[in-house]
Structure 1
Amino acid sequence: MRRAKELLVWRELQAAHGGATPNLFTIGAVGAIDLSRPCTVLGGRNGSGKSRLLRSIALNLGDDGLYLDLHHLCEQALIVLRSLKNLEEMKDELGRLGPDDKRLDDVRRVVGRDYESVDWYALDVGPEGDEIAAKFRWGGDTGDDPLTPYFTVRYAGIEYDALEMGLGEFSVHFLLWILEQFKDRKNLVLLLDEPDAYLPPVGVERLLSRLLAICQKRSWRMVISTHSEEMIASAVDHGAFLLLRMGAGGSTDAFHSQDDPTIADTLLARPPIERVLFVEDESAWYLCRALLDHGDRGLSKATSLVWGDGNGYMTPLRSSLPRPPEPELAFAVVPDGDQRGEMSDAPIAGRWPLHFLPGSVDPDELFRTLKDDPAALADALRVDVAELQRKLDDLEGEDAHDWVNRLGEAYGRPHVLTVLATSWAQTHGDESATFAALVRAGV
């Protein structure tokens, strides 16, 4: 499976489960998880309740849920393997269990090693203690004997086994080995507790895509907890992320990325800045940021905004700022919309691009149009609508600049500018998307 196909798996899986009847599992005082969804990625700070939630779901589902705490399973399996003195004899007696060509390709891709050979075995031995041994009865039947996996591989002409593998490599083999024990099960809910903890970022993305492909093939659904930024970002992009937070009284509250695409921002590192946009003033700064946030969240995160004192500095800046053939950082100037008749956005060889803000007036004029829906504006500002209406009546006749300034004096300037810019961008989605597309293409 190559990267292009990996990126399609999300959509294929979601399409296959489209229209499924919701199966809600309540979480704490706020939120719920829909177990009918093909995949949900759980994230949150340590102690937010990710593992507790997975165990609670497993208990609720019974035989229809498969809960795997890969950390603990790996630890116990390695204890068993280290205690055995006759591994070679045991594996020879039992014979090779796998992997088949599909799982071989999966393990190669996730681990990042082009193995010459891989052999999987199932040893008729388990950990000590009934409770732990029960986790190694993969059929779930108490009459089944516990089985411990054992792996041997050949890579770059060197043969080595499970005891010589790093934890990341061993955990990938172990997880895929476990899933093969359940390959004939249908409609299973796979509950994975941080299976990617030992993997580098590139391995995390590949692991997730393969788990999704397995779920699609077997009509499974999956809930997976993680701290991986790559996995969280991918889930947010596909509306499949659930943020857990510790609520009042120690309960766990849940918030879905479908309701708020920015919900995971506190868990993700800011990407490196790729471009700098120069805008006219403070109002333009807030509007430009809101347009990018609403039009292209990823673009916004990688863009820095700089505002000056009007547009007078823009033409000299554009004509003097060097543009090398392969710049590491891109620039653009972004005048207000009322400058369309004064400045040209036609491309000029050797100069950085120019993009106008939407409309044909300055941002304050755009912001003032929001007064036409005082109920929506009051809700956004979190003030009483009657109180706001009195303020708007008092501001009637003010020019746009003074209107914004006085509203800022009443309710706090940063708060007011944020609300005005965000509200305008949200109610003008097409303009936001068009502006973001121009910025991305232009620089």
Structure 2
Amino acid sequence: MKIRTKLILSMSVLIVFVMLFLLGVTHIQFYISRDLAYFEEKNTFESLRKEFEHYYSNHGDSWDNIASARLKYTGSFNEVVLTADEEVLYQQGKLSANELRNEGFVLALYESDQKIGRLYVMNERQYKIYEFKTMWYGMLPNIGIASLIFTCIAALLTILLLSWRLTSPIRKIIKGIESIQKDGAATVFPEQRKDEFGAISKALREMNDSLAGAEQIRKQLMSDVTHELKTPLMIIQGELELAYETGQPLSAAKQASLLDEVLRLSRLVHDVLDLSKLESGKMELQPQTENLVKLLEDIVEKTEYMVEDKQIQLSMHSREDSIPISVEKSRIYQALYNILTNAIYYTNPGGQIRILVETAYLPKQQQPYARIRVEDSGVGISEEELPHIFNRFYRADPSRARPSGGSGLGLAIAQQNILAHRGWVEVESVVGKGSVFTIYLPI
């Protein structure tokens, strides 16, 4: 059922309900007005009651000849009817006894706590209220039909206008979604609205932008993976084809070169698989308590040959001999190794790298953290490049490619490994002065 149809049905039900409600209120108002007239002239009503009760007691507890009796206070009332044992004994006025029984004000008569009859009365004000009520109910069918027709027409026009305005942004949103489904083209959503439709449009636009960005990342990833695989495969293919065509056996140097390319391919494939598992949260860690200081000393020792080749001064500083952390050693080792080797790659010969490790108590954290700072005097990273350095296959220096550099996955894998251990990485950098990578891991 469309929104317009629902609005029409809802408004129709509301109109009928309002009409019935007004009718009920009007009916009750008549009786309230009638009873209020009693309270405003209560003394007159009570005098009439007492006059009839005195007549009954003065005539030997009988209503004999009451029909012809001349009573003083009956002149103050337009309508009076006396009944006893369902028999009409006295009547004054134009209305029938049955009409007055239904519409008149009731006064019960007593003699020594014994009920002797009932008076149904109307004074002048009550009678005018009754006349107005009768006239109103006589006109009500025509008024009701005319009002209902007029209200329905007005409501229908209002509903059509409102439904058109309400469904207009919905139609635009649906059109935009259909456009995205067909060709993925960008569309304009009614975001300028300040209501729920504007919020929906904004969310849809952001979702579309996010999907477009994800698609762009996917295409870029495929391009990067293809590029990284293509070069070593072409080298291997070229060497093997040359050996096959010439019939010459591969020399030991050629075999070592081909083996190096195969190992490079193998590392790349494993890095991509590991990164995919880490990003999807499917990597199951098996943490054990490790000494972070000892772990860093091992990494420094392993990279000594790299800093010696570039004549870089590498130093490590720690005020504590042991900082225990619960980690899967190989994962954290890989993360810290990647960050350190990245610093070595981007530090010019003769530069320096300092590693500082300590226990840190952070204001918004309930537990202490191990803080590792890797400071280098390298080329630095620009503000434009800084947000992207943890992306897959991203290199701050596009010219840095094999064999001088890695595949561009090192920092991405490092960050995901650290995040998997409930830690995080912060980076500060100044172009020409160097970078500082700060790693936090829970103790």
Under a length normalisation based on structure 2, what TM-score does the superposition of the two structures give?
0.21
> Which structure exhibits the higher relative contact order, with contacts defined as CA atoms closer than 8 Å and separated by 6 or more residues?
1
Structure ID, larger Rg: 2
